[in-house]
Amino acid sequence: MSKTTTKAASALIVIVLMLSASFLAPIAFAELQQTQTPQIAWVVNDPYYKEAWVTVDVNGTESFLISARVNGDRIEVESINGVETHTNYVEPLVSLPRPPYPWWVSIGDVPAFHIFLDGPTATNIAVALAVLTFLLGVHVDC
């Protein structure tokens, strides 16, 4: 096989791989489009302890009992369906870094949330939606 043929084959393989990767995002988005809005049913809604059933519909309805502790502005999930976890949390950020452009007009602090989901939660779309809905629902409620 000549160098030209090898280079052409390599370029073709790279192009095919790039195109196949670009189609994965629309497919994943199409699956998310079938998801309905999660619902929250509060069981305990105290200032420092929250517990709720969060129902999500991703290829079949699932409900998750999620409990969390509120420590100041930080909200940390304690358990999902009775399984302990302390790695899923949300906390507000004071501001976002601003680029030092001369045309930038300062508008004060930009509200933002730092949301952390551990690997097992983030890879399961139903659990991730339930936890995100719960965390943001708790933060809005506080």
pLDDT band at 18 (very low <50, low <70, confident <90, very high): low
pTM: 0.63
Report residue 102: phi and psi, to 5°.
-65, -25
Decide if pLDDT at 71 tops 70: yes
Nearby residues of 74 by Cβ (< 8 Å), 6 or more positions away: 89, 90, 91
Between 107 and 126, the more confident residue is 126
Structural domain boundaries in the chain: 1-33, 37-141
Helix (H, G, I), strand (E, B) or coil at 91: strand
Instruction: Please compute Rg for the chain using Cα positions.
Output: 22
The structure tokens listed for 115 are 């949301």
Is the dihedral angle over the CA atoms 37, 51, 127, 81 positive or is it negative? negative
122 or 108, greater pLDDT: 122
pLDDT tens digit sequence for 58-70: 888 899 999 999 9
Nearest-angstrom CA–CA distance, 53 and 39: 8
